[in-house]
Homo-oligomer: A and B are copies of this chain.
Amino acid sequence: MSDPRPGLKPLARTRLYEQVAQQIMEWVRENGLTTGDRLLPERELATRLGVSRATVSQALVALEVIGVVAVRHGDGAVLTDASGAAKVLEALRAHAKRLPDIIDARDALETKIAALAATRRTDDDLAAIDGALDVMEADIDAGGRGVAGDEQFHAAITEAAHSSLLEKMMQQISELILETRIESLSQPGRPRDSLAAHRRIADAVRLGDPELAAAAMHHHVAQVSDVAILRD
């Protein structure tokens, strides 16, 4: 592993683990490995590539972060679907044009999130939720539409559900949701109704009643969607 030409190469700075990772992927491609197939053991990769095991390990970390492989203690490194989260997200956006779809997805996620929040919320979570409601109310009192507080509220509820996966999925569709949310709140008289609906959700979460929370959230989403659909 010696640099062939020490003379002129200012930017050739590649880490060894990058080359190793590249070679591994090349090997995978050449041998036509697919999802679920197991890579060679670290020790063998190390000897075959003429590097130390630590470097191979770094390469696997890189591949793992990228999402190409999953390294399993005591078992080995297996290939996972090469279509990373980025591609999924893109596909998501491409398919997400229809508003009703967005509403369906939002209902699915937020209803469950509300139920989970009711059972898992900590006191801190509750404080955050109440804080969001205060922000929303203050804004509405001042003549605003409470958009910021609305967003903050849903973020707080999501946080209180303590489920990273659901949180991630909510983020994926959050921008899409924002549009419908703004439209809804721009209807006269809506902000007050919306605030009340949020209060009902918050109360259910406070009580720790998952079914009530889910029902309240479902009602809220349906209410908001009404307007969006009418205007569609």
Contacts and interface: CB of A to CB of B under 8 A. Distances in A.
A95 B90 CA distance: 19
Copies in the complex: 2
A25 interface: no
Contacts of A94: 164-165, 168
Contact of A13 (B73, B96, B172): B73
Interface centre among A54, A71, A101, A111 (most CB of B within 10 A): A101
Interface string A155-181: 000000111111111011101100100
A230 to B, nearest CB: 20
Interface string A55-88: 0011001100110001101000000110000001
A121 B90 CA distance: 19
A81 B179 CA distance: 10
Q: How large is the interface on A (under 10, 10 to 19, 20 to 34, 35 or more residues)?
A: 35 or more
B120 A113 contact: no
A95 to B, nearest CB: 4
A216 to B, nearest CB: 16
Contacts of A17: 61
Interface stretch (A102-110, A133-141, A184-192, A196-204): A102-110
Interface centre among A17, A54, A104 (most CB of B within 10 A): A104
Interface in A3-55: 4-5, 13, 15, 17, 54
